[in-house]
Amino acid sequence: MNIKDLLRDAYLLQLKDGFFTVKSLSKLIKRSYSRTFSILKELQRKNYVKSLEKRNKGETRYIVDEKGRRRFKVILTAGTYDIIHTGHLKTLEEAKRRGDVLIVIVARDKTVEKIKGRRPIIPENQRRTIVQSLKPVDFAILGSEKDFLEPIEKINPDLIVLGRDQPVNKRKLEKELRKRGLECKVVRLRVWDSSPLAKTSKIIKKINETFHISNI
Amino acid sequence: MNIKDLLRDAYLLQLKDGFFTVKSLSKLIKRSYSRTFSILKELQRKNYVKSLEKRNKGETRYIVDEKGRRRFKVILTAGTYDIIHTGHLKTLEEAKRRGDVLIVIVARDKTVEKIKGRRPIIPENQRRTIVQSLKPVDFAILGSEKDFLEPIEKINPDLIVLGRDQPVNKRKLEKELRKRGLECKVVRLRVWDSSPLAKTSKIIKKINETFHISNI
């Protein structure tokens, strides 16, 4: 296993649990405890990971250090993902291809209401659960209701990916990021799904047509 | 890595490609080519896998043999999965927990039309793509339009899992399976998702309420 894959796997555990241990990493990379222990010692020697101060008698907790973090690429994207369709999936798969870890910020109900004038059909927690369950997605979190840059600042991604039709001004976003000292790039994807029902608005239209007529 | 995990990984490649090679298995299990080669030779010696007749100068193709197939448990479930929601996800996750490999049969548009009197909102290929993209699902295939038992016969699963509300008669299904010489068990899951919009009918109702009123 190469160092990049190891560090990425360790980082995925850290996203979920806040840290990783020999045990949790050993389970994820399917290597023995002793093998994982010696791998981890080597990564620590190279300053790729560091141990956290022991707070109790439990296992030593580790996190990926700044030098280790620079060995893999974290991609960030965001959206409402109200009714999941192949258009979403295609964008997420393409976003994942741009790097090693894909983190998705799922818009809060209140934020969508502010922008679109109505809440999404599916509540935020269920939307987050579905996005988290998609194979290209490593980690899905809910956005902030107050400051949309807050989770981006915390994650400090290498690249932010915007969907083809995402109503976000790329330049304005870059300006905002620079103000906070974030150096990450922003790209807008060109991929799209030409399948007949790969847009939420089309799905909603078809549902209305189908059930409006048949229910009267 | 234990034998069960190895055989399951090899079987997943076989589902996708019809066979596996040293190269494709090596990539999946993240071991070197030579390490994978010696693992494979050992599995072959134990009659867990067998090589297929060489048709060209390419790499030797292998498949999991009957003895190897008995070392892991294949779960099968089926459904329409028209608009994916957390209720589907919960059922699929619970189904996956019952075994090692989860294969999902996605109902054909025509079959749904015959049963429900209308086609699904989302076309069959897009429904299959979304189901395949969910983490608990190892492999998703479209059903047969003529004989619903045909793909089950081909897969020969260890267990068939029915969702809580799935309109299938368990005893009748078991009878049909026995007629074809299939010994697999059938269980109906009791799990369900109490979240507010974890049912397709509820999502459709909410969409109609939301847009019917606001569009007039």
A209 in B contact zone (CB under 8 Å): no
Q: How confident is the model at residue B215 (pLDDT cuts 50, 70, 90)?
A: very low
**Integer Cα distance of A194 and A202 in angstroms:** 12
Mind listing the pLDDT tens digit for each residue in B2-35? 899 999 999 999 999 999 999 999 999 989 999 9
Helix axis angle for B22-29 and B33-45, nearest 10°, is 110
Nearest by CB: B208 against A1, A86, A207:
A207
User: Which B residues 77-116 touch A at CB under 8 Å?
Assistant: 83-86, 89
Torsion over CA of B3, B8, B14 and B19, rounded to 10 degrees?
0
| Residue B212 confidence (pLDDT) above 70 | no
Contact A130 B89 (CB under 8 A): yes
Residues A115-165: tens digit of each pLDDT? 888 899 999 999 999 999 999 999 999 999 999 899 999 999 999 999 888
Q: Does B52 lie at the interface with A, CB-CB under 8 angstroms?
A: no
Contact state of A89 with B129 under an 8 Å Cβ cutoff: yes
Task: Give the per-residue pLDDT at A71.
Answer: 96
Run of H or E residues at A160: strand A159-162
Tell me how far apart the alpha carbons of residues B206 and B38 are, in angstroms, rounded to a whole number: 57
State which residue of chain A sits closest to B213, comparing Cα positions: A208
Q: Between the CA of residue A166 and those of A91, A201, B154, what are the distances in Å?
A: 11, 14, 43
For residues B34 and B146, what is the distance between their CA atoms, to the nearest angstrom?
Answer: 45
Task: List pLDDT tens digits, range B104-135.
Answer: 999 999 999 998 888 999 999 999 999 999 99
pLDDT at B75: 98
Inter-chain residue contact B121 with A210, CB threshold 8 Å: yes
Is the pLDDT confidence value at A188 over 70? Answer: yes
pLDDT of B213: 54
Q: At what angle do helices A22-29 and A3-17 cross, to 10 degrees?
A: 120
Helix A33-45 and helix A22-29: axis angle, to 10°? Answer: 110
Domains of chain A, earliest start first = 3-69 (1.10.10.10), 74-200 (3.40.50.620)
Q: Which residue has the tokens 């049969």?
A: B105
Query: pLDDT value at position B167?
Result: 83
pLDDT at A24 over 70: yes
Q: Look at B203 and A83 and tell me if their CB atoms are within 8 Å.
A: yes
Query: For residue B190, what pLDDT is reported?
Result: 85
